[in-house]
Amino acid sequence: RVKVLDDGLGEDISDRRFIPHFQLHEFEALLLSDPQKLDAQFDRSTGIRRLVDMVASFDSPELINDGNDTSPSKRIIGEIPEYERMKVSAAPIVADKIGLPTLRLKCKHFGEWICKLETLNKGERNNANGRTDRPPPTPRLLGHRFAQRQYRRPDPSGHVYRRHTAHGLPSTRRGCRLFASVPVARRRRAARLAQGARRRAGRGVFRR
């Protein structure tokens, strides 16, 4: 049932960054994957032993929930009453004691979701240095006419800025460097506007 919900919500959102996971019942079901670790926070050996026997009668801790009074948290509280007021602080500690490998082994649905998260970045890495297969960013241009202008202003190292295509790709000729079209153009345009404003202010002429 939860798998159908996961798949349906994933198809509806349709975004690779969204990986849904429905917990069948409540968080305490994960703690019941190894109830013995509850002794790290609670000195209730008899109650913990009963929880271990109870969990053994189910195929998976994720399936433990027979009703409002027999949900995973209610079963733990029935054997360890102080868990009710300490669950916010104690539950994460117990889960850490259990460990992710045990949680994944005993709770299959939870383990499948963790596997999906772990494989998100596979296929993008192509070497040990962490370089990816993604293409380099393309410079943003103001428009086709601006992109087709010719720039031959040498920089201090002796290279020459060449013409760019409309898609922002630099010339393939040897000795060319990528020309930062948009930032330079914006600075020049801002300088011209500021200079014109100063001149108009000096003459007392303002544009409406």
Bridge partners of 164, per DSSP, are none
CA distances in angstroms from 115 to 10, 21, 108, 135, listed in the order given: 16, 12, 10, 27
Taking the complete model, does pTM exceed 0.85, yes or no? no
User: Which one-letter DSSP state was computed for residue 98?
Assistant: H
Domain ranges of the chain: 2-118, 144-203
Measured from the Cβ of residue 55, the count of other Cβ atoms closer than 10 Å reads 20
Q: How confident is residue 206, by pLDDT bands cut at 50, 70 and 90? A: low
55-96 pLDDT per residue, tens: 888 888 888 887 778 888 899 999 999 998 888 899 999 999
Listed in sequence order, the DSSP H helices in 119-157 are: 144-147
Residue 186's pLDDT band, with cuts at 50, 70 and 90, is confident
Contact between residue 104 and residue 110 where contact means Cβ atoms under 8 Å apart: yes
Place of tokens 């005993």: 106
Mean pLDDT of 192-197: 84
- CB atoms near residue 38 (< 10 Å): 27
Q: Hey, what's the torsion of the CAs at 109, 114, 120, 122, to 10 degrees?
A: -100
Under a CB-based contact definition with an 8 Å cutoff, are residues 179 and 173 in contact? no
Write the CA distances from 205 to 26, 53, 195, 197, integer angstroms.
73, 91, 13, 9
Confidence bin at 205 (pLDDT 50/70/90): low
